[in-house]
Amino acid sequence: MTRPPGPKGQFLLGSLLPFARDPGNFLLEIARQYGDVVYMRVLHNHYYLLNNPDDIREVLVNQADKFRKSQLDYDILSRFLGNGLLTSEGSHHRRQRRLAQPAFHSKRIQAYGETMVAYTENLLAEWQDAQVRDVAADMMRLTMQIVSKTLFDADAVTSKGNAAATIGEAIHTFQDVSNHAYLRGFTLPAWLPTQDNRRAKTALAHYNHHLEQIIAQRRAASVNGEVADKGDLLSMLMLAQDEDGSAMSDQQLRDEVATLFAAGHETTSNALTWAWYALSQTPGAAAPLYDEVDTVLRGRAPTLADLPNLPYTLMVIKETMRLYPPAWILSARTAQEDVTIGQTAIPKGSHVTIAPYALHRLPKYFPDPEQFRPERFTPEREKLIPKYGYLPFGGGPRVCIGNSFALMEAHLIMATIAQRYRLHLVPGQEVKMAMQITLSPANGLKMRLEPRRKATHSLDEADPIAISSPQFHAVPISA
Ligand code: HEM
């Protein structure tokens, strides 16, 4: 088998520079130019970029056991996340996934709906008509508050000294430091007194202190060794038992909580932020959203029972994650043996790259890919998208464990905000994508709040709920 086509790159660096300069668009360009499988070299590493859903299924599902996430990911992430779900492999990963899965059962996460709406309403109480806000910062704070409450029942107010706030600050330091390491392509030994290492050390000390305290308090509140179910994810993780009756150790709990906190807010925040941006640029796609929330909710806060009647709102979120997938690239997978994927031989030790950002913009799967068109995700049309051609949450045994949680959260937040405000992009700012661990707007996102209607706080004050779903209109597209 011959090696697939791809960019030549420079003698020593290979494709390092174009990738580091603008990773998303570089991957998109080579995917468009070279097709289903693209070979590239970065320094001495061999990468195969997969752009075909069948090949992607092979790597993520059918032959997943022949790959492991790349060493670079482990080196960078495990310093903070230890041996949690994101950063473990093999039988250990399978056990942890088994133990954590019940915490994400739909029945269980449905209990978090009220919390999600309540925190959104708190945010709206701060918003003032015609005010200009950094919506990226607001969404980040909101999703962090929600993950703190649902994960370990803590109020993540931003005051200093508050556990969740300190954990949040530590996570952001960690993300910053990790982004630098990804850009460099290697980690520096933790003992080197670089600025990043010093920052990471302090952040890690705070992070560990608070997480250990939270877990110890739970243990201390146990009665006769029985952990009380406080309704949060941590309770579920503590109560979880494997078939042999074993439960997670405190160290394992620490690693899983650290992982869920880190993985569980920035991604959702970015999805929401990009959705407000896309809607502000595409009035034709925004109009049905406002119609839908007005018809169904009539000024009251949404509940879980409303979600099936708000399908367009969900379509907006799905289309946003097509164009702006928060996880714009999956962790590279390293072949543990020689593997054949479709027509391609992937030698042991080489890496497979799957980049939702590039995949989701291929015209083969998404005609006029640069256009924001939520109607791609009507139930009928969504079925026509190849299963591994749309991957905001990854796929296979390592698919995002929080995917239902995140979709429910984004759905509720979007419906709560959309009926109260229309968000307009403040002109004159450059909206640039920062492709770091997640895909975020590089300089925040300043938006002006146009009021739509006042809140109706009690169900009694509201008009009866409209049960039928609004009809979708053909949405005119603007660039
Ligand atoms: C819109 C929001 C989210 C997006 C786009 C997203 C995306 C992803 C993706 C693509 C992966 C797979 C990465 C890979 O295969 O390399 C993943 C894994 C993971 N996500 Fe999410 N995620 C989101 C929200 C959440 C939330 C809310 C939580 C938890 C509360 C969470 C927890 C995790 C965990 C623990 C993993 C590792 C799973 C494993 O390897 O077994 N994520 N996420």
Q: What is the 3-state secondary structure (H, E, C) of 333-365?
A: EEECCCEEECCEEECCCCEEECCHHHHCCCCCC
pLDDT at position 251 over 90: yes
pLDDT at position 475 over 60: no
Calculate the CA 314 to chain-centre distance. 15
> Both tokens of residue 93?
């990963």
Q: Which ligand 1 atom sits nearest the alpha carbon of residue 259?
A: 35
pLDDT of residue 217: 87
pLDDT at position 245 over 50: yes
| Spatial separation of the C-alpha atoms in residues 190 and 196, rounded to whole Å | 9
Chain segment 175-207, per-residue pLDDT in tens:
888 888 887 777 888 888 899 999 999 999 988
| Spatial separation of the C-alpha atoms in residues 142 and 157, rounded to whole Å | 10
pLDDT at position 342 over 80: yes
Query: Which of 236, 267, 274, 353 to probe ligand 1 with, by most ligand atoms within 8 A of CB?
Result: 267
The H-or-E segment that residue 256 falls in is: helix 250-263
| Spatial separation of the C-alpha atoms in residues 298 and 132, rounded to whole Å | 25
Chain segment 423-451, per-residue pLDDT in tens:
999 999 999 999 988 999 999 999 999 99
Ranked by mean pLDDT, the top range of 67-76, 97-106, 194-203, 278-287 is 278-287
Ligand 1 centroid from CA 46, angstroms: 26
Q: How confident is the model at residue 275 (pLDDT cuts 50, 70, 90)?
A: very high
Q: How confident is the model at residue 337 (pLDDT cuts 50, 70, 90)?
A: very high
Query: Which of 400, 414, 435, 438 to probe ligand 1 with, by most ligand atoms within 8 A of CB?
Result: 400
Percent of the chain with pLDDT over 70: 92
pLDDT at position 386 over 80: yes
Q: How confident is the model at residue 454 (pLDDT cuts 50, 70, 90)?
A: low
> Which of 225-234, 349-358, 389-398 is predicted with the least confidence, judged by mean pLDDT?
225-234
**Ligand 1 residue neighbourhood (C-beta within 6 Å):** 85-86, 97, 259-260, 263-264, 267-268, 271, 326-327, 330-331, 392-394, 398, 400-402, 405-406
pLDDT of residue 223: 82
Contact 444, 286 (CB under 8 A): no
Position with higher pLDDT, 33 vs 181? 33
Considering the entire predicted model, what is its pTM?
0.92
| Spatial separation of the C-alpha atoms in residues 85 and 255, rounded to whole Å | 8
Ligand 1 centroid from CA 170, angstroms: 19
Residue 382 is classified by DSSP as H
SS3 105: coil
